Structure 1
Amino acid sequence: MELIDIGANLTHDSFDRDRDAVIQAARAVGVAQMVVTGASREHSPMALELALQYPGMLFATAGVHPHHAVEYTEECDAEMRALQAHAEVVAVGECGLDYFRDFSPRPAQRKAFERQLQIAVDTGKPVFLHQRDAHADFMAIMKQFDGQLSRAVVHCFTATREALYDYLDQDWYVGITGWLCDERRGRHLREMVKDIPADRLMVETDAPYLLPRTLQPMPKDRRNEPRFLPHIVEELARDRGITADQAATDSTRAARTFFGLPALPG
C-alpha cells in the first residue's frame, strides 16, 4: 500500500522533539509522500524548509489560514508569492473562511482569501482550501475566480451533503480525514464518501489534529500522526465498499495528479 498524506501540519511544535522519527514511522507503513501544510506567515516558510530537507518525500503548501487573516498585509502577500516560486511548494493555502471560530474578523478573512486565490491564478498552482460554517460566502468568493483556477481541493471535508455536491459540481477535489472515524460528529460522512468520484478523492491526517477515534490502541499523548493514515484508508474503503488497496491506489493517483507529485522510483 502506497499512500500520500495531502495535509499534515508537521511544523507544529508537538513534533519538535521527534519530527524525523514521525516521518520515518509514516514511511515504514507505506506513507510514501506527504504535503506539509503551510497555514501562516510563520509556518509556511517552515513547511518549505522541511520539504527541502526531505526531497521527493515531503512537499509544502504556502498560505494563510483564515484564523490568521489579520496578518495578511502587503508584505505577507509578497512573502507568499516568493514561497510559491519554489517547486517544492505545490499549492496555495491553506486558505479560505472559518466562521465557526471567527479568530479573525470576517471581512479580513474574505480579503485574505481573495488575495490568495489571485496568487493561485497568477502562478497556475492549485489551491488548498478551508471552509467551516461559511459555505455561502465561500462559494460566492470562489465564483469570482470561476474558470481561472487550475485545481482546487476542499481539505478536511466535514460539511453537509449539499456542500459536497456544490464542490463536486465545480470539479473540485475533496480531502477526507479521521473525522470519518468520529462517531459523534462524522457519522454522516460514512454514506457521503460513496458519492465522491475516485479520481477526486484524497486522504489526509491533518496531524497532529483529528486523531481517529476508532484507532486501537490509542496513543497515550493523543497526537495524530501520518503513520495513522492507513487506518483512515481502511475505514474509507469499508464505507465505499472497496478494498483498502484500491482506496490507496485511487487516492494516491488523485494526489499525484492534483499536486503534480513525482512517482517514486522503482
Structure 2
Amino acid sequence: MEFTKGIKDGLPIALGYVPVAFAYAVGAVDRGFPLWFPILISASNFTGTGQFAGTNLIAAGASLAVLFATMLVINIRYALMSLSLSQKMEGFPLWQRAVIAFGVTDENFAVAIRRPQKLTFPYLMGLMSCSFCGWVGGTVLGAALAAILSSLLTGSAAAYYQLAMSAFNIALYAMFVAIVIPAAREERSVLLLVALSVAASCVFYFVPALQALPDGLEIVICSIVCTVAVSLLFPRKEEGTDKQEETPGAEKAEGAPGAEKAEEAKGEPGAEGGKQ
C-alpha cells in the first residue's frame, strides 16, 4: 500500500522528468557521445544539473580534477536535503538510508518532506523508483530519437530541431514551481522561504562581486542562509507539546464524588415517591 502511494506521488515527477532527460540525451548525442553514454550517466547519477554540466565538461576536454570539483559543488546541496530528510527516517537501517540517498533529488525531496505521515521505506522506494524510471526512460527515448533524426535532418530543419530541443529545458523548472506553489499557499513559512530564496538568487545574479562564485556554491549558500532564517522565524514545535496543555478538568469531573452521589440518589425510593 505504501509502495503504491509512493508511485502515485512520484508519477507527476516522472512525467516532468521525461522531457528534461530527453533534452539531455539529445544534447549528449549531438556532441558526439555514443548512444549508450547518456543512458549510462542517467542510470548511475540521477542528477539533472550535474549531468548537463558534467557532460559539457567532458565534451570540452576538462580534467578529472575540474570535473570532480564541479560535480561536488553542484551536487553538495543533496547532502543538505538528505540531512533534513533523515529527521523523518527514524529506525531506517544503514542500507536503506544508502538506497534512499541515491534517489534524493530536488523534486523527490520536496514531495517527501511535505508528507504529513511518517516516511516509510516502501513509500520512498515507490516515489523514487517511479521518478527514476521517468528519468532513465526519457534518456533512452532522447538518445534513440537523436541518433535517428541527426542523420536525417539537414539545413533549416536541423536548426528548428535544435531550437525545439532547447525548449524542453524549461520543463524541470515548471515542474518544480508546480510542487512549491501549493505548499507556499498553505504555509507562511514556505512562502517566506520561497521569497527569501528568490531574493538571494537575485543578489548573487546582479552583484558583480558574487557573480564569480560557482552556481553550485551559490545554491548551497542560499539554502543555508534562507533555511536558517526561516527556522528562526518559524520554529517547529516538538510533537506532544500541545497535548500537555490540555486541562484535566474533564477527567476529574467524571470521577467526582458528587457525581456518584447524584447517581445513587436517583435510585432511592424517596426520590421517585417524593410527589405522592
User: TM over 0.5, yes or no?
Assistant: no
Give the helix-richer structure, 1 or 2. 2
Quickly name the TM-score band, shorter chain normalised. Answer: under 0.3
Larger Rg over CA atoms: 2
Give the strand-richer structure, 1 or 2. 1
